[in-house]
Amino acid sequence: MADAASIFIIPPPYHHHLSHTSNSSFCTSIRTPILPTQTPRRRNHSHHHQTLVVRCCITTTTTANQKKNPISWGCDTDSLENASALQKWLSEAGLPPQKMSLQRVEVGERGLVALKNIRKGENLLFVPPSLVISANSEWSSPKAGEVLKRNGVPDWPLLATYLISEASFMKSSRWSSYISALPRQPYSLLYWTRSELDKYLVASQIRERAIERVNDVAGTYNDLRLRIFSKYPHLFPEEVFNMETFKWSFGILFSRLVRLPSMDGRVALVPWADMLNHSCEVETFLDYDKSSKGIVFTTDRPYQPGEQVFISYGKKSNGELLLSYGFVPKEGTNPSDSVELSLSLNKSDKCYKEKSEALRKHGLSVSQRFPLQITGWPLELMAYAYLAVSPPDMRNSFEEMAAAASTKTTSKKDMRYMEIEEQALQFILDSCETSISNYTKFLQGSESMDLDVTSPKQINRKLFLKQLAVDLCTSERRILFRAQYILRRRLRDMRTGELKALTILNGFRKFFK
């Protein structure tokens, strides 16, 4: 049998949200570019068209700010009237005849459905660049666009502001039909309140990611407001450009923005294409096709008339899918699923200061999160564990361990410190079991959780959020259970081997007495 620990370690690149589909690198300052995604992003959907997902309208809770500044554009997520108007406008604007139509579907509420037989390997969509929203799109308010570009606003906040600006022009905007077909409230953790995040995602590390994202959006808006909007109130009135509208526009971007590799990596919103729902079973994604001069995707399976056509939003964990799109695939159906395991240095460690400095030098903190998958864990996690348990007489290796724990290090090798491997594996196991305990406590408590609401609509919302949280925590705990099993088995084998070697050694000693 192969070594259990070695077959369970994933070589880099490992981190699902540090790969080609990252939108987690979103930055708070408009002076720092915000990194988008390569694959299409959208709202709620599921792993495959045969499986239903729990969903409901989550526009039922209204905050004080929403009452003051309601989003007056967009539509309900299942609106076919707005979808029909979008199709008509796109055709009149140059979208060629399609083999798909936008219809109400079981998965995703609205989706693109095959009208004819579609072959595997066929190119679909052909959305021309003229129907794509990018940083180069013309503004209905040219002066507003000039001000933002003059101030060096990067693509993400630029597009967020552009979307709000065009929405505020209503029918006079070229993009009116598209904006009217966008959800009035995108499915996103941006719309969960802090108390909801604390209550329902208490066991999951996605809670921290969601809080970071909410803070990032608020920070970006405040930076824009202080540096630009307040200086040009006639171009950016607060009743239009406020926190609520930015939450909406960033919710749209997080769920729909794509990066097009063949257009020099340009980030863009692609009307019509962003109506495609996600499946964990497909790998095809959008790109610009130079021969047809349109945005296309190549099918990796055939479709019959009436079947919903799917696309991949990238290799994302269930937590990331909930974070941006507001849905969780059925447990066990997402091969890219993972759970983040939090590890921390022990403050009572005699070498705490030296280890902290080594981590800081390589862009890490004393507390780090690493992804576990059913298939294994990354080399970086093992390197961090080695550092965490290493004794003072190994201080010459602290630098090497910290470097190996960093995702920024390009050259990776499977380091083995046999003298402390058992302690490192036990350190990871202890963290796993602590996390499992937190998940179990939440899942057991969720059965009798008091929803604390009076309105029927609020009850629907709370039940919906609770179910999403239960689905997420169940899938994440499943991965932790697998890691726990592997770690326990590996430690048992190591300790059994040590005991056997000690028994043999003692036998030799008795023999030579």
**Could you tell me which residues are annotated as the binding site?**
256, 274, 277-278, 288, 313, 325
Q: How far is CA 399 from the centre of its chain?
A: 31
Residues forming beta bridges with residue 310, ordered by sequence position = 277
C-alpha distances in Å from residue 401, one per residue of 110, 146, 355, 359: 49, 48, 9, 9
Element holding 404 (H helix, E strand): helix 398-405
Q: Which residues are annotated as a binding site for S-adenosyl-L-methionine?
A: 256, 277-278
Q: Which of 38, 23, 32 is nearest to 264 (CA)?
A: 38
CA–CA separation, 308 vs 327, rounded Å? 18
Q: Report the alpha-carbon angle 88-94-97, nearest 5.
A: 70
**Distance (Å) of CA 419 to CA 343, 384, 422, 425, 494:** 21, 15, 8, 12, 12
Count of other CB atoms within 10 angstroms of residue 332: 12
- H or E element at residue 258: strand 258-260
What is the Cα–Cα distance from 57 to 77, expressed in whole angstroms?
Answer: 8
Q: Are 424 and 489 in contact (CB under 8 A)?
A: no
Helix (H, G, I), strand (E, B) or coil at 142: helix
Annotated binding residues for substrate, as ranges? 256, 274, 288, 313, 325
Give the C-alpha separation, 15 to 319, whole Å. Answer: 13
Q: How far apart are CA 379 and CA 362, in angstroms?
A: 15
Q: How far apart are CA 477 and CA 443, in angstroms?
A: 10
DSSP letter assigned to residue 30: T
